[in-house]
Structure 1
Amino acid sequence: MPAVTVEDLTVLPRLRTPGLGDISRPVWQVTTAPQGFEGEGFPVRRAFAGIDLQHLDPFIMMDQMGEVDYAPGEPKGTAWHPHRGFETVTYIIDGQFDHQDSHGGGGTITNGDTQWMTAGSGLLHIEAPPEWLVQAGGLFHGIQLWVNLPRDTKMAQPRYQDLRSGEVALTTSYDAGVLVRVIAGSVGEVHGPGSTYTPMTLVHATLEPGSRLDLPWNVDFNALVYVLAGRGRVGTDAQPIRMGQAAVMGAGDFVTLAAEERQDSNTPALEVIVVGGQPIREPLAWAGPFVMNTKAEVLQAYEDFQKGRLGQIPG
């Protein structure tokens, strides 16, 4: 980890430093992700478990998949399953995943690639490691984020974005000590390639030991920090945070992060996901693979799935 790196950060555009009147966001809450299994049995951490949905809005959940070094025969994925009413964002840091959906979207993502799938009105899809990885084993690590859709776009036509690692926008801290990858949205003047229905920003940052990041953040967005690896501090009060923990940030112009001077040998840097968006503030009815506004709409989604209206598994 990570897949996308830059040997000389000084060649990248630099983020501005906080100015007069700018406010660094405080920490409202720190949670620790419980561990479990998803799909056919691959390990996950439920990154945002324990956080009230009103603080997550416009997000529903996020899983950290791995980090796991599979032995031959161990890699697993998911079976065909339905979705409606939201978007799935799958970002692979290490390893490889194949995706296919009933609307013709899909492909292989690896080492810094992102698949952005808008389920919208509904589809079926499958995610699985390629056969060679199942046979050989190997490292696997990534995240999957669920992004809610506003009421007027929940039944939008499904679509698929294949964001290659080379398309991700790169920037660095004002002192060129932190690598920031912008997958979607904007950080200062740097814009990521992802196209979103819900205004939002998704960032993966690597902070070397002792480094600091003042990340400009849209004042209208919420902000959530999740630690993939390492140890550091976050917010105006330098709240300690470590691998598997999430921080809910309060209001402000910047998200401030710092990596501890000493890191564990197996996690030499602080690796974080920072995500935030414009809250939708609409009623939410969520059951399994369907995220709608009312219970009746969820029940309709189950009926449509059972009657084959969300698509058919390709031959």
Structure 2
Amino acid sequence: MSHSLSQSSHRLISKLATPKLQTEGGGFLVRKVIGTVIPNCDPILMLDHIGPVVYKPGEALGAPDHPHRGFETVTYLIDGGVKHQDSAGNKGILKPGWVQWMTAGKGVVHSEMPTDDIMENGGKSEGFQLWVNLPAKFKMIEPRYQDTPPEKIPIVKTEDNRVTIKVISGECRGVNAVIETKIPITMLDIHLEAGSTFTYTIPTSHNGFCYVWRGAGFLGHNQMPAHMGQVGLLSETGSEFMIRAEDGQDCHALLIAGKPIKEPIVNYGPFVMNTQEEILQAIEDYRAGKLGQIPGEAERLRQTEAAQALHKKNKNNS
């Protein structure tokens, strides 16, 4: 760290929060990192930390057919497997380390279900879903997918080799992500070995937060102690952000920052627009089938209900 930097150039943690661990559906363990204790962080609408959970055979849950319009969804998988498909005919399988950056734009119906392997054999499941808002000019663009395997995600190491950074979006130390974003967004997955430190310069105009998803460390130049499941909101001023792992354990953290859009937000479940009229239009278009549909909807619903029932039965018997 350069000692010539003035105190004002440091990004501090203005708020440290602990999202509540909640159960959704039939057993989705979710921490609403952004979206509850911190309502939003323009342009980030939401960050869910899903899991970690170990499913027994037949218990794994997904998100059957649901629509999106007006924003982007980012799925980053740590463990498990997700089989996705949509009303535009896109389909694929996400495995550990994969990132899917989906620009919903004018709208799609999307399904994210557990892979056959996890349904049959059970297994560990963990990942993140990030919602990135789009400005009015991009809300009705054509949908786009960027499914990116781990080997294509650039990795940066610090000089001492004690910090490893996956550059999911944006840039880090001169290395650019392969994923393209509609607005400037930085998403870094940082793994710090015990006692190591990492500094990163964030544009002063960008909002941001840092979420510790495993281990423990100290966030910002005010060194706020944070453990697994805690999020630090970055101060509005300054540029250089610092994170340090605890001496006794490693720290895994997501650093996410973006240029605020500063437009009105009206959201209704899976639709995020600028006006109430646009939301009503989205609902009308969805009901009229204009966002399309995916063959096999009834089977995915049946699979989800069966998994929920089995999860409940196993829980009652344990």
TM-score by length of 2: 0.88
CA contact (8 A) 1:44 1:66 kept: yes
CA contact (8 A) 1:102 1:312 kept: yes
CA contact (8 A) 1:27 1:249 kept: yes
Structure index of larger Rg: 2
Q: Residues 41, 126 of structure 1: CA spacing in aligned structure 2 closer, same or farther, 3 A cutoff?
A: farther
More displaced 10-residue stretch of structure 1: 188-197 or 115-124? 188-197
Q: Residues 247, 130 of structure 1: CA spacing in aligned structure 2 closer, same or farther, 3 A cutoff?
A: same
What is residue 50 of structure 1 aligned with on the other side? 37
Q: Residues 18, 311 of structure 1: CA spacing in aligned structure 2 closer, same or farther, 3 A cutoff?
A: farther
How far does residue 114 in structure 1 lie from its aligned partner after superposition? 0.5
CA contact (8 A) 1:120 1:158 kept: yes
For the residue of structure 2 that corresponds to 1:230, the secondary structure is strand
Identity of aligned residues (%): 41
What is residue 275 of structure 1 aligned with on the other side? 256
The 5 A counterparts of 1:120-159 are 120-159=105-144
The 5 A counterparts of 1:180-199 are 180-199=165-184
What is residue 289 of structure 1 aligned with on the other side? 270
CA contact (8 A) 1:40 1:79 kept: no
Q: Which runs of 5+ in 1 are unaligned?
A: 1-16, 264-268
Alpha-carbon deviations, 1:127-181, whole Å to 9, x = none?
0111221110111111000000000000000111111101111112243211100
User: In 1, distance between residues paired with 2:159 and 2:17?
Assistant: 29
Paired residue for 1:212, among 174, 197, 210?
197
CA contact (8 A) 1:40 1:78 kept: no
For the residue of structure 2 that corresponds to 1:305, the secondary structure is helix
Paired residue for 1:308, among 276, 289, 309?
289
What is residue 28 of structure 1 aligned with on the other side? 14
Q: Residues 252, 173 of structure 1: CA spacing in aligned structure 2 closer, same or farther, 3 A cutoff?
A: farther
What is residue 3 of structure 1 aligned with on the other side? none
Alpha-carbon deviations, 1:29-75, whole Å to 9, x = none?
1111112234554211111221143xx00010010011112122211
What is residue 260 of structure 1 aligned with on the other side? 246
User: In 1, distance between residues paired with 2:84 and 2:3?
Assistant: 44
C-alpha root-mean-square deviation of aligned residues, in Å?
1.5
User: In 2, distance between residues paired with 1:97 and 1:237?
Assistant: 39
What is residue 146 of structure 2 aligned with on the other side? 161
How far does residue 216 in structure 1 lie from its aligned partner after superposition? 2.6
Q: Name the count of aligned residue pairs.
A: 292
How far does residue 104 in structure 1 lie from its aligned partner after superposition? 2.0
User: In 1, distance between residues paired with 2:273 and 2:220?
Assistant: 33
How far does residue 19 in structure 1 lie from its aligned partner after superposition? 6.5
TM-score by length of 1: 0.89
Alpha-carbon deviations, 1:102-128, whole Å to 9, x = none?
112231111111011111001101001
What is residue 12 of structure 1 aligned with on the other side? none
CA contact (8 A) 1:209 1:262 kept: yes
User: In 1, distance between residues paired with 2:260 and 2:192?
Assistant: 28
CA contact (8 A) 2:85 2:294 kept: no
